[in-house]
Chain A
Amino acid sequence: MSETSSALDGSKPPISAPSQDGGATTSRRRRTLFAASGSIKSGMLSHWYSIPAVVVGLLFTLGPICVIVAFSFMSQPDVGGGVVYKFSTNAYKKLLFTTDFLGRTSFDPRYLKVFGTSLWQALITTFICIVLSFFIALWMSLRKPSTQRLLVLLINIPFWTNLIVRTYAWMLILNENGPINGFLKFIGVGSKQLLYTSGASLIGLIFTFLPFAIMPMYSALSGFDFRLVEAAYDLGARKLTVMRRIILRAAKPGVTSAIALCFIPAFGSYVQPVLLGGGRVLMVGNLIASQFSEARNWPFGAALSTVILLITLLCGVAASIGGGKAARDAGMAV
């Protein structure tokens, strides 16, 4: 049998092609080795071929997490950064307790407060993003298809520029000589301190994460059959009932995805609190960064990161239990 005839013969799996050069026995052995489960259809590679990619993928995802968790249980060197390979839970103790020069240990809420600030900022950001994105996505999905495509493009525009650049743009808008204060002065209210407040940090967070909320919300609502709304009206439902029982229900998978996509990254955000919040807003992300730089306490930084990881994980599990399949998909996406 020549190569060409086997290639033309569609019924024959192409995997048998190596038998021409390798001999029948080796080919069969190779085939059984690679086809560990199930039969291979023609044109398909055995799933063993994906091992290198899986290994690389695991190294880049699980690898850093393992390093962080390991570092969090190690000791701080006497001088400088890095870690000493000696088991210690000091980093976790430091989260809640402080020890003074006399060796007395007492409860220390300072770091909990940082978590509290982060949680608060992330919750407000998520809530506002969800509310805004619901109405924006609803409005979008009611436009005609060509307009919808344009609007999706517009929502993607922020991703074309760097986050730092976008945040600096907000600094320009909010600063003392910026357009908002300019307007306030013009109408006689006088300039206000807008930049370097927790409000500014919040605006930055909402601005950053809104597209992440609109996208899943839009994908949930764009497939929605608006004739169901007419059916509900016809059956006697009022506007609010239609919103609650028909439209919001359809948006539910979008809401769970949007929560996952906004809350988790907002919780650990770094750029907006620093640039827009100035020194007034300290979020977990900033705290961690300072542990690896100025404070030179790598185990503590690693411990903070591990705690964030656990919180995120819990959120993901809660979402997948609470939100059913759609939310599980969203959890996977994060």
Chain B
Amino acid sequence: MTTTQSPVQDAVPSSSAAESHQPDDTGVRIGRDKDVELRESGLTINRARKTFRSAEGKLVHAIDDVSLNIEAGEFFVLLGPSGCGKTTLLRSIGGLETLDAGEIYLGNQRIDEMPPYERPVNTVFQSYALFPNMTVEQNIAFGLEMEKKPKDYIKRKTREMLDLVHLSEIGKRLPSQLSGGQQQRVALARSLAKSPKVLLLDESLSALDFKLRRQMQVELKRLQRETGIIFIFVTHDQEEALSMADHIAVFSKGKPEQVGTPEEIYDKPANRFVADFIGDINFLDATVHDAGSVEVEGKIFPVTQDLSEYGRGAAVSAAVRPERITLGAAKDGGLQASVETVTYMGSDIRCHVRLADGTPVQIRVNPPFDSELLTVGAKVGVTVSPDHMRVVER
């Protein structure tokens, strides 16, 4: 997995890409530069742009110079708040939108100029979009009929797909006679029947209830492993993203803020937006002490991150996850704080403490825990290991 655009690297690779993006008269594929490494079967998006005019007449950069490499056989998640451009990017890959600029390659083949019906890419829609007048089997067979496959092949493939999504019993039913989860499976089977190279899933689980969604997440992951197809999954649900993805791209305002594995995204957020968007987090005001430590409330905290880009004395934020904080007695050192609320949640205990300067901090600890420290008003010490403190812009 490589990213050609993350804010940390931004300054260097984008400028080089811009230079080499000049129109190419030599007949070599336009827009290819050293950033765009075309793989045999991966999906490459190079400097894609798409601009809309909103209802108020403002220009909205739905996709703002996005470059991504998605490797073969990967479960890739586009995560972000609504309106961040993730769905537009997905539709552009599927061919339901046309890019204003940039290219999309599947392996060595450029696909962004192909009509949707020629792309080896299929979509599972948020609304499922099953054809209401066709049975489950007919829905699944539709895409194969479009390819003019022989009848017995279509029959066999349809059976196979029904088995794959565990719906063999209800092939003769109409979509209106199915539950939401079953419709979801039919939509999946219909897209997978075409043996696409890339499967696009647009908020495909958001219409399901919590339990079913969990079940389908496991199911999707299994299908992806079994088929080896690239799955590109769009969601605004960070938990869903973390649990399914091989790699996540966190989107905001038409750009990926960070691309990485779920662990990288969660533990090493590239900036404040990513840190804030994924999970719960505390932001503590800090100043850079030297390249390897920050100062919070007069105490020096070493970090594993290289802070040389910020410069000594720069005002930053130290981002810390509630469950990564160690709570100890006040006399044992750390930031001095007093406990304000304690909530027992079963699997963990959540408490809010307030630092001496008034900053509220959430902390999560696992029960059983020293009940003397977890009483309202107790004086405690808050410590964070260097691995768990992440410095981002304030």
A: which residues have CB within 8 A of B?
A: 225, 227-228, 230-238, 241, 245-246, 249-250
Contact = CB atoms under 8 A, between A and B. Distances in A.
B194 interface: yes
Interface string B61-100: 0000000000000000000000000000000001110000
Contacts of A245: 142
A232 B142 contact: yes
Interface of B: 94-96, 115-118, 122-123, 125, 127, 129-133, 142-143, 146-147, 190-191, 194
A236 B129 contact: no
A230 B125 contact: yes
Nearest to A144: B55
Contacts of B115: 233
Contact of B194 (A233, A236, A241): A236
B125 A233 contact: no
Given A232-B131, A236-B146, A249-B133, 9 more contacts: A231-B125, A233-B115, A234-B96, A234-B117, A234-B191, A235-B117, A235-B142, A236-B118, A238-B146
A238 B118 CA distance: 10
Contacts of A237: 117, 142, 146
A236 B147 contact: yes
A95 to B, nearest CB: 43
B146 A241 contact: yes
A225 B142 CA distance: 18
B125 A235 contact: no
B129 A228 contact: yes
Nearest to B190: A235
What are the 9 A-B residue pairs with the smallest beta carbon separation, nearest first? Answer: A236-B146, A235-B143, A231-B129, A236-B117, A233-B116, A227-B129, A234-B123, A237-B146, A228-B129
A20 B112 CA distance: 81
Given A235-B190, A236-B117, A230 B96 contact: yes
A133 to B, nearest CB: 21
A10 B131 CA distance: 46
Nearest to B131: A228
Contacts of A234: 94-96, 116-117, 122-123, 191
Contacts of B118: 236
A241 B194 CA distance: 17
B133 A225 contact: no
Nearest to A224: B132
Contacts of B117: 233-238
A234 B143 CA distance: 8
Contacts of B133: 249-250
B127 A227 contact: yes
Contacts of A238: 117, 146
Contacts of B122: 234-235
Nearest to A249: B133
21 contacts: A227-B127, A228-B129, A230-B123, A230-B125, A231-B123, A231-B130, A231-B131, A232-B131, A232-B142, A233-B95, A233-B116, A233-B117, A234-B95, A234-B123, A234-B191, A235-B117, A235-B142, A235-B191, A236-B143, A237-B142, A238-B146
Contacts of B125: 227, 230-231
A234 B127 CA distance: 14
A245 B142 CA distance: 10
A213 B116 CA distance: 34
A212 B222 CA distance: 53
A314 to B, nearest CB: 27
Contacts of A230: 96, 123, 125, 129
A232 to B, nearest CB: 7
A144 B1 CA distance: 43
Contacts of B94: 234
B123 A246 contact: no
A246 B129 CA distance: 11
B138 to A, nearest CB: 10
A58 B146 CA distance: 53
A235 B132 CA distance: 15
A227 B130 CA distance: 9
A245 B130 CA distance: 13
Contacts of A246: 131
Contact of B127 (A225, A241, A249): A225
A79 B81 CA distance: 88
Contacts of B116: 233-234
A145 to B, nearest CB: 13
Nearest to B123: A234
Nearest to B193: A235
Nearest to B129: A231
A231 B130 CA distance: 8
A232 B138 CA distance: 13
A233 B123 CA distance: 10
A246 to B, nearest CB: 7
Contacts of A231: 123, 125, 129-131
A246 B146 CA distance: 13
B96 A233 contact: yes
Contacts of A232: 131, 142
A233 B118 CA distance: 9
Nearest to A238: B117
A237 to B, nearest CB: 5
Contacts of B143: 235-236
B267 to A, nearest CB: 37
A197 B16 CA distance: 75
A241 to B, nearest CB: 7
A246 B142 CA distance: 11
A231 B142 CA distance: 10
Nearest to B200: A234
Contacts of B95: 233-234
Nearest to B146: A236
A233 B131 CA distance: 12
Among B116, B122, B190, the one with the most A-chain Cβ atoms within 10 Å of its Cβ is: B116
A249 B132 CA distance: 10
A185 to B, nearest CB: 47
A128 B118 CA distance: 35
A45 B191 CA distance: 54
Among A225, A235, A245, the one with the most B-chain Cβ atoms within 10 Å of its Cβ is: A235
A226 B326 CA distance: 54
Contacts of B142: 232, 235, 237, 245
Among A227, A231, A233, the one with the most B-chain Cβ atoms within 10 Å of its Cβ is: A231
